[in-house]
Amino acid sequence: MAVCVAVIAKENYPLYIRSVPTQNELKFHYTVHTSLDVVEEKVSAVGKALPDQRELYLGLLYPTEDYKVYGYVTNSKVKFVIVVDSSNTSLRDNEIRSMFRKLHSSFTDVMCNPFYNPGDTIQSKSFDSIVSAMMVQSS
């Protein structure tokens, strides 16, 4: 039930960002951007430990009255951010995790595509469909 899904590259620029169009997209873009700070903070906090120990799923980054932001970072510092509407029945942590897992796996599929240059925006249809599925189910 994501309201917005974003994939941010290592250099902190978005590779892919998509929101439920009905809402003000700019607001979500801004939210995702600000959540990056929280991600960095979490990553650096845990980062002292070996990367292996660092968990990919960051959990709830911060909640606002309207929505909650969850983060997930890969080993290559690619970040996934999911914004979920609070009004929705709060999703269980596991569901969020599974969403991230799906995102991660489809992201790797995109990466595996030799025609994809890392750093390009993601234009894969399959990736789009997976994200849509995640967003549609919610709203």
Partner 1 sequence: MESLTLSDVEQKYYSDLFVYCDVDNTKKVASNGKVLDLFRAAQLSNDVVLQITELCGATRLGHFGRSQFYIALKLIALAQSGLPLRVESLNSVKDLPLPRFVVGKNEQESRHTAMYPDTENQGPYSSVIPRPPGRVPAKKLSTHEVIQPCVSAVEPQPDTTSPVVSPHQSPPTSPHAWRKHKRQASGGAVDRPPAVAGAAWPPFREAQPGTHSGDGMWASHSPPPVQESWVSFTDTPPSSTLPAVHPSSAQESTTVRTVASAATTNEIQRQASGYEDPWKITDEQRQYYINQFKTIQPDLTGFIPGSAAKEFFTKSKLPILELSHIWELSDFDKDGALTLDEFCAAFHLVVARKNGYDLPEKLPESLMPKLIDLDDSAGVPESAPEVGFSSSPVEVTPNKSPSMPSLNQNWPELNQSNEQWETFSERSSSSQTLTQFDSNIAPADPDTAIVHPVPIRMTPSKIHMQEMELKRTASDHTHPTSPLMAKPPELSEEKKLAAIKFPGSTVGDGYSSSDSFTSDQEPISSAVTRQRSHSGTSPEGLKAVAPPPPPPRPHASHSRSSSLDMNRNFTAVAAGQQAGVVAFPPAVPPRPLPTQTSVPHGHRPVDGDGLPAHSSTSPQQMPEQPNFADFSQFQVFAVEQPVDDGDTQQDGGQVEKGVDAAGAVRATKNDTQAEERTPATVNSAKGSTPLAPPPKPVRRRLKSEDELRPDVEDHPQKSSVVPGVLATQASIPRSIGKDKKAIQASIRRNKETNTVLARLNSELQQQLKDLLEERISLEVQLEQLRPFSHL
Residues that bind partner 1 (CB under 8 A): 74-76, 101-102, 104-106, 108-118, 123-126
CB of 56 to partner 1, least distance (A): 9
CB of 136 to partner 1, least distance (A): 15
In the complex with partner 1, the residue whose CB is nearer, 70 or 107, is 107
Decide: helix, strand or coil at residue 86.
Answer: coil
Contact 84, 1 (CB under 8 A): yes
Range list of β-strands (E), the chain: 2-8, 14-19, 57-63, 67-73, 79-85
114, two tokens: 């030799």
Which residues are paired to 5 by β-bridges? 18, 82
CB of 108 to partner 1, least distance (A): 5
